[in-house]
Amino acid sequence: MSLRPPIRSSIRFKLTLWFALTLAILMLSSETFWDRHLATILEGNTDSRLARTGDILDDLIYNEADDAPRGEETQCRELRNFVYRHNWGVAIQQRNPRGEVTCFTENLGELRFPLNRSALRHLSQGGAYFETFTSETGERYRVMTRPRYDNARRVDVLQVGENLEANDTALALLLWKRIIYTPLLIILLSGCGWFLAGRALSPLQQITDAIRKITAENLNLRLPVDKKRNELTDLSISFNETLERLANSFSRIKQFTGDASHELRTPLAILKGETEVSLRWSRGEEELRQTLISNLEEIERMERITEGLLQLAKSESGEFHLNLSSFSLNDLLQDLYIHSKTLGEAKKIETILQMQVDHEVFIRADQMHLHRALLNFVTNAVKYTPEGGEITLTLALNAANEAQIHVRDTGMGIPAEHLPHIFERFYRVDEARNRNIGGTGLGLSIVKAIISAHQGRIRVFSTPGQGSEFIIDLPLDPTLLPDPPTATPS
């Protein structure tokens, strides 16, 4: 089944459609503007020709020096002959001061130019008046009406007109060409737009095809990233980063499931085996009691594992609740010192407490969780330090003015290849030894989650056969920082 969208709902179709509509609107608007502009230019040119014709007639006919007076008929005949000789395409009509037509050229035929109120008003002001006149036969004329003076006295009215058929024909021809070619041009450019939209969206289709190939089984696949930086490149990079986080999450889930299954399988197998043996072979009361005690130890071990897993799950999901309060790290180190001496007494381990500060160091943290995390370091130090060894607890301030706690022992140490992994859940440097002393493999993972929840950091240095040192940096309580020393007056 094809997953491609229908053409009408595709981005490519919508882009092309919007491009075609925008192009059509722009072309129609542009053509309308230029049509009107061209009509205005043609009309202006016609008016200029009419005005020049009037000026020529005034200079060559009406103002011609002649001692003998000429009558209206003679003047009219001369006017017609003059227009005929010059082969002008204009029609001329003359009126007397009363508005009566006294002369006109033969190309007017039965047509007469009108003299309306607007023309009379302009004549009274001594100016020329231009208008477009449509005859009864539908022909359009552009007519100029202007007065003619003799010794500053208006003697008649001159009207010069030109048939607008040539202008209308040119505009009509342009309109028909536009009607024919504009749709063809829009279709052609829309085709180009469809092609360009396809080219522009082809990387997006490639990304879509690549995404469809990615499943839970092959999260290692990545989208191709173009060397030229653009929006789609940013999309590919962001999606690849999301895939990386998703792959890491899947990996952690698989590891978590496998490790939890492995860790719980061992105590369950012990419980099952001992119970089956007890049921198969009749034993005395004391042997059954020892079996129940062993079963209880395995149940408690599974309880610690599930409790640790629950705490880690809450930490990773952001549900790790902290009951914050301000307290003294000096007092906390004193308490850990007492615990360490008590735990190490059986193995004759000496515990040393070093306070490399000259004042109380306060932090704002969850005292119970932080005590548990630091006690884990102390407990591990006691477990892995041989009889007669030494544990040192140190409180200091680092260069960034943060609280710094050191837990150093003279135990068996940790090989360098194991150091990057000791905070991973269920990771053990010595599988058999860790299980024999009751470890679940979750202690340091929980410790790291607690320290990280307090915006702290953990570092570890170790030398096999010489011991290990864990360094914990924690921010101080800003509300309880010590006052800076004041200068003593000299």
Q: Per-domain residue ranges for the chain?
A: 9-170, 231-316, 325-480
User: Which pLDDT does position 103 carry in this prediction?
Assistant: 87
- Lowest-confidence segment of 66-80, 140-154, 170-184, 278-292 by average pLDDT: 66-80
- Lowest-confidence segment of 12-26, 184-198, 437-451 by average pLDDT: 437-451
- Lowest-confidence segment of 85-94, 187-196, 389-398 by average pLDDT: 85-94
Over residues 22-49, the mean pLDDT reads 91
pLDDT exceeds 70 at position 2: no
Q: Are 372 and 410 in contact (CB under 8 A)?
A: no
Identify the band that residue 330 occupies on the pLDDT scale cut at 50, 70 and 90: very high
Euclidean distance between CA atoms 336 and 391, whole angstroms: 11
pLDDT exceeds 90 at position 41: yes
Tokens of 43: 């009309």
Q: What pLDDT, in 10s, does the model give residues 214-225?
A: 777 777 777 777
CATH code of the domain made up of 325-480: 3.30.565.10
Over residues 39-55, the mean pLDDT reads 91
Q: What pLDDT, in 10s, does the model give residues 88-115?
A: 778 889 888 888 888 888 888 888 999 8
Over residues 56-75, the mean pLDDT reads 63
Tokens of 111: 């047509």
Identify the band that residue 474 occupies on the pLDDT scale cut at 50, 70 and 90: very high
User: Which pLDDT does position 409 carry in this prediction?
Assistant: 94
User: Which pLDDT does position 309 carry in this prediction?
Assistant: 66
Identify the band that residue 68 occupies on the pLDDT scale cut at 50, 70 and 90: very low
pLDDT exceeds 90 at position 490: no
Which of 79-88, 201-210, 299-308, 346-355 is most confident? 346-355
pLDDT exceeds 90 at position 429: no
pLDDT exceeds 70 at position 480: no
Angle at 201 (CA atoms; ends 196, 205), nearest 5 degrees: 140
User: Which pLDDT does position 406 carry in this prediction?
Assistant: 95
pLDDT exceeds 60 at position 272: yes
Tokens of 134: 């449509």
Euclidean distance between CA atoms 227 and 229, whole angstroms: 6
Burial of 419 (C-beta count, 10 Å sphere; 0-12/13-18/19+): middle
User: Which pLDDT does position 391 carry in this prediction?
Assistant: 94
pLDDT top residue among 14 and 67: 14
User: Which pLDDT does position 292 carry in this prediction?
Assistant: 76
Q: Are 315 and 381 in contact (CB under 8 A)?
A: no
Over residues 255-280, the mean pLDDT reads 68
Number of helices (H) and strands (E) in the chain: give both, helices first.
Answer: 10, 12
Q: What is the pTM of this model?
A: 0.48
User: Which pLDDT does position 13 carry in this prediction?
Assistant: 85
- Lowest-confidence segment of 25-39, 335-349, 416-430 by average pLDDT: 416-430
pLDDT top residue among 56 and 141: 141
pLDDT top residue among 157 and 259: 157
User: Which pLDDT does position 142 carry in this prediction?
Assistant: 93
| Average per-residue pLDDT for the chain | 81
Identify the band that residue 432 occupies on the pLDDT scale cut at 50, 70 and 90: very low
Identify the band that residue 87 occupies on the pLDDT scale cut at 50, 70 and 90: low
User: Which pLDDT does position 488 carry in this prediction?
Assistant: 42
Euclidean distance between CA atoms 103 and 80, whole angstroms: 9
Name the pairing type of β-strands 325-328 and 350-355: unpaired
User: Which pLDDT does position 228 carry in this prediction?
Assistant: 73
Helices 367-384, 329-344: crossing angle, 10 deg rounding: 30
CATH code of the domain made up of 9-170: 3.30.450.20
DSSP single-letter state for residue 219: T
pLDDT exceeds 80 at position 66: no
What share of the chain has pLDDT > 70, as a percent? 81
Over residues 124-138, the mean pLDDT reads 88
Tokens of 453: 């929840």
Euclidean distance between CA atoms 103 and 95, whole angstroms: 7
User: Which pLDDT does position 393 carry in this prediction?
Assistant: 94
pLDDT exceeds 50 at position 36: yes
User: Which pLDDT does position 254 carry in this prediction?
Assistant: 72
Q: Which fold, 231-316?
A: Helix Hairpins (1.10.287)
> H or E element: which one contains 208?
helix 165-212
pLDDT top residue among 364 and 285: 364
pLDDT top residue among 309 and 451: 451
pLDDT top residue among 458 and 278: 458
What share of the chain has pLDDT > 90, as a percent? 23
